Chain A
Amino acid sequence: MAGIAGSMAILLAGLAAPLPARTQPAPMQLLTDTQHYCAELFADVEATQNALIEPAPPAVDRLALEGRQLCSLGEVRGGVTRLRRAMVLLHERSGEH
């Protein structure tokens, strides 16, 4: 019984371990998690909205505004996600995929 417990513990420890300890490179930052990208994405959303012939869905303005606000408050990932949703709505409206 002790052998089974030990085997399970080793298995689970192995599954839980992310990387070998001897190779620990510095984690990479994503460029899309930055204020700079947030601002770029907001500008893209505005440009895409202005290029539309038909009016954009009402949610686009809200999402874009929320996204910029979140980014300015330091919640970059949340802000970028809202801006991306706005971009998806705009592309759906324009028929571009």
Chain B
Amino acid sequence: MMDGATLGHAGAQSAPGLQVAGARSPQHPRFLRSAALRFAAMYALLFGLSALALALFLWWETAGLLDRRIDNAIAADVESLAQRWQEGGLPALIITIENRLAENVDDNAIYLLVDPELRRVSGNLSSWPTDLTVHRVWAELPIERAGIRSLARVRTFTLPGGFHLLVGRDVQVRAQLRDLLTGALLWALLVVLVLGVAGAVVIRGLFRRAMANISATAAAISAGDLSRRVRISGRGDEFDRLSETINEMLERISKLMDGVRQVSNAIAHDLRTPITRARARLEDAALHAESEADLRAAIERATTDLDGVVAVFQALLRIAEIEAGTRRAAFASFDAAPVLAGLVDLYSAAAEEGGLTLMFVCPDRLPLFGDRDLVQQAIANLLDNALKFSPEGSIVRLSAAIAGGTVTITVADQGPGMSEVDRARATERFFRGEAARSTPGAGLGLALVQAVALLHGGSVQLSENAPGLAAMLHLPGAAEVARGIVATADA
């Protein structure tokens, strides 16, 4: 037979394709799986993309603007020359070209007028460029000026009669600007790289530092120190909120574990007595019973004791089932008014027997959304306690009211009541107040009422009735629950 450790190992091996929880992926190195690195890389990527977008915009605004201006100037020049051709024919066009060259103070104009055989007629180019077809409209032409190689932006235009006109501008300035911009942007690229890497390192460090605090606390708790809590930086940021949530969770776990310890102690203490008593009776009967009747009596008394033990366990299991929340799936809308009326009918006989007056005040309808049986049992427990602790001649009052979407069911008695300290602990399992020590019971009644209230999203409140105790069960009304469901669905 395999022990737990072997069984666990075999279980992992016997499920091919199923990865054991917590196992690491063997495909990627550890540093690539770092969330901090992903954040840092994302920051660097966004930084780089922003810088690239800015660089492209700058380029478009500067070199691009210059390009557009040059093209517009050339197009305007071509248009006016074409108009001169129309007005004065070839002679007028030749004079205009020569005049424009003579007045080209910017020293950037390029003109060439050729006949249908591509022979030069006018302009400052000696011949039609060899790699430029007459049909190509816009082109870039390499030129050399004072020994410096440059570039010209040219446009060709076919005139009536087969003549071809080439108009252009020396774009050396644009080329110089482009070189300047290129150099600047390359340096800027280097700066972007450095800043991006530096920023990514800082982001990664911040992220790791923030997570290290939480990781260290989790490791300490795993090692057994349940008192550790995550340190709050005080900045109120997302990490602080995460830390606060984790601390709340740890507090709750701590309280639950204390509760389990308490219940275990209470079970061991409170159930040991009836079991021991039953054993003693059976042992005594076995040794000293003189007749079958004596034996039967001893067995019946022991059976009664053990029935009490079973009842306690059943109550504990019921509370556990309620706290597990599985019964929430069977919630339905119902009217609690007839439930209360039925309980009053059920307990009126017991009240009369005890010399008590049972009063009942309730609206015609009490719409609730929940488990009808659990609500009935919770109110029954409250009535049980009230009748048990009320002196003869007093009044036990069962009332209900709806206010602000909350249904409040109150059971008030005129008994000894409970101190404020006892009221604070009354809903703990196995707790019994001073006045209850002489009465039968296991101290689980109010614990069950509390569990039912929490399951329905409500609460239990105990207060002074002067004299006596008032136990109030607050439950959200059916309309309130419906609004909550709609709000959750919309979110």
Contacts and interface: CB of A to CB of B under 8 A. Distances in A.
B101 to A, nearest CB: 6
Question: What class of interface size applies to chain B in its complex with A?
Answer: 35 or more
Nearest to A32: B124
A53 interface: no
Given A25-B129, A28-B126, A32-B101, A1 B44 contact: yes
A24 B103 CA distance: 32
Contact of B142 (A1, A19, A37): A19
A85 B182 CA distance: 34
B178 A30 contact: no
B125 A33 contact: no
B148 to A, nearest CB: 10
Given A4-B45, A28-B125, A88 B103 contact: yes
B134 interface: no
Contacts, number: 102
Interface stretch (B47-55, B216-224, B247-255, B479-487): B47-55
A87 interface: yes
A91 B149 CA distance: 33
B144 A29 contact: yes
A77 B107 CA distance: 8
Interface string A1-41: 10011011101100110110001111111111100010001
A5 B124 CA distance: 44
Contacts of B49: 4
A87 B126 CA distance: 23
A81 interface: yes
B268 interface: no
Interface in B26-48: 41, 44-45, 48
Nearest to B111: A32
Interface stretch (B185-193, B351-359, B424-432): B185-193
A9 B52 CA distance: 11
A1 B149 contact: no
A16 B44 CA distance: 26
A67 to B, nearest CB: 12
Nearest to A25: B131
A9 to B, nearest CB: 7
A81 B107 contact: yes
Given A1-B196, A15-B182, A33 B145 contact: yes
B179 A30 contact: no
Given A18-B151, A30-B124, A31-B126, A84 B107 contact: yes
B190 to A, nearest CB: 9
B102 A30 contact: no
Interface in A47-97: 76-77, 80-81, 84-85, 87-88, 91
Nearest to A74: B146
Given A41-B102, A91-B103, A1 B41 contact: yes
Contact of B63 (A15, A19, A30, A76): A15
Interface in B98-129: 99, 101-105, 107, 110, 123-127, 129
Contact of B52 (A7, A33, A77): A7
B489 to A, nearest CB: 43
Nearest to A28: B143
A1 B45 contact: yes
Given A1-B44, A8-B55, A76-B146, A84 B197 contact: no
A77 B103 contact: no
B141 interface: yes
B149 A27 contact: yes
B175 interface: yes
A4 B149 contact: no
Nearest to A75: B146
A19 B139 CA distance: 11
Given A15-B182, A29-B143, A32-B124, A4 B52 contact: yes
A7 B149 CA distance: 29
B107 to A, nearest CB: 5
Given A12-B185, A29-B126, A77 B175 contact: no
Nearest to B186: A12
By CB atoms of chain B within 10 A, which of A1, A7, A15 has the most? A1
Nearest to A4: B48
Interface of B: 41, 44-45, 48-49, 52, 55-56, 59, 63, 99, 101-105, 107, 110, 123-127, 129-131, 140-146, 149-151, 175, 178-179, 182, 185-186, 189, 193, 196-197, 200
Interface of A: 1, 4-5, 7-9, 11-12, 15-16, 18-19, 23-33, 37, 41, 44, 76-77, 80-81, 84-85, 87-88, 91
15 contacts: A1-B44, A8-B55, A9-B189, A12-B189, A18-B140, A28-B127, A28-B142, A28-B144, A30-B110, A30-B124, A30-B145, A31-B123, A77-B107, A77-B145, A84-B105
Which 6 pairs show the lowest CB-CB distances between chains A and B?
A4-B48, A27-B144, A32-B124, A27-B142, A31-B124, A16-B182
